[in-house]
Structure 1
Amino acid sequence: MAATAAQMRTTLPPEDLEAMLDLSRFLGQVAEPAALVGPDGQTVGLPAEVHRVLMDVVHAMSQGRAITVAPVDQVLTTQEAADFLGISRPTLVKLLESGRIPYECPAAGRHRRVRLADIVAYQQQSAQERGDVLDTMTREATDLGLYDDTAADYTAALRRAREG
């Protein structure tokens, strides 16, 4: 299934970011629940989830980054999935073929399709694994007394570890 314009939309930030920066500062000071005011003065409250998404979008765009809005059940091409993860397409294909990320091949096609939800799950699992490794490394460094050493001692210990 290819993404349609209604399912997935990428928006570039404005050239002049000043208004976006003002909006970002404003939203940073607004306590939930926030509300939208229409041109006729009608006010509609924003659910907390929508307020958080709006804050995330405005924050990213105020930094000059484009935003893509897509439903979680969105199906992506391998290139779109690789772009989302910030990795190359060949690296993504290796993850697919190793079973780390599920995929499907619609009909008798050769092209793989990946669910956005599966990409997000992989991203979260990967972040958790990296955090666990860093926690283990920190614990081991503490146990070895490396935090008590000088920078030169630490550099020498790293050199020995790499050689060993």
Structure 2
Amino acid sequence: MARTVARLSPKDIASDDAARLAEELRSATTITIGAETVALTDEVRSVLSKLLAYVAAGQRVDVVPVDEMLTTQQAANLLEVSRPTLVKMLESGLIPYEQPGVHRRVSRAALDEFIASRAERRRAGLEALAKTLEPDVPDEFVTTR
């Protein structure tokens, strides 16, 4: 079952404060929480700035582990497809899943891999389509009515 590790929303921090913190983090080298001071790497600084920028824009941010197992509805929501469509994708072998009992479970890592491969397939398809266009032929309007 999915478990949210951390959730940050505009209810937790005001948009103005989140925007100010995101801006300050862009140039920060350390962060102090309580008595603990930690050096920030470029990657951590970037992630924290983006997280706060989303909150400043009024969006909620959830941080979950990559190896987390999701329900089919949660996976469908992440892919922005219906649950029946996701089930068809699972059963056709597009995305690996587990079915320990009656319910299917999809790992977040498998979804991330599918999303990355889908983006690559789209990019390759668009490049192939672009190669079919003849640069010497001008674009023309086609009247449909």
TM-score range for the pair, normalised by the shorter chain length: 0.7 to 0.9
Q: Which residue of 1 aligns with 2:108?
A: 116
TM-score, normalised to structure 2's length?
0.83
| Cα shift readout 1:29-69 (whole Å, capped 9, x = no counterpart) | x17xx2112344x5320233322321231222222221111
> Please, which of 21, 32, 35 is the counterpart of residue 37 of structure 1?
32
Q: Match for residue 72 of structure 2? A: 78
Instruction: Confirm whether residue 97 of structure 1 aligns to residue 96 of structure 2.
Output: no
Q: Which residue of 1 aligns with 2:7?
A: 10
Q: Map 1:46-65; keep pairs closer than 5 Å.
A: 46-65=40-59
Counterpart amino acid of residue 110 in structure 1: V
Question: Unaligned stretches of 5+ in structure 2?
Answer: none
- Quote the Cα distance in structure 1 between the aligned partners of 2:9 and 2:32: 24
3-state SS of 1:110 partner: coil
Query: Structure 1 stretches (4+) deviating beyond 4 angstroms?
Result: none
Match of 1:162 in 2: none
Q: Alpha-carbon deviation of 1:144? A: 4.9
Give, in angstroms, the shift of residue 77 of structure 1.
0.4
CA distance in 2, matches of 1:74, 1:118: 10
Residues 118 and 48 of structure 1, relative CA distance in 2, 3 Å threshold:
same
AA in 2 matched with 1:3: A
Rounded Cα–Cα distance in structure 1 between residues aligned with 2:91 and 2:71: 15
Q: % of aligned pairs identical?
A: 35
Give the structure-1-normalised TM-score.
0.75
Unaligned ranges ≥5, structure 1: 160-164
> For 1:10, what is the secondary structure of its paired residue?
strand
Q: Which has the higher helix share?
A: 1
- Distance in 2 of aligned mates of 1:10 and 1:86: 20
Provide the aligned C-alpha RMSD in A.
2.4
Q: Deviations over 1:106-155 (max 9, x none)?
A: 1xx211000000000000000111111111222222x2545x43xxx1x4
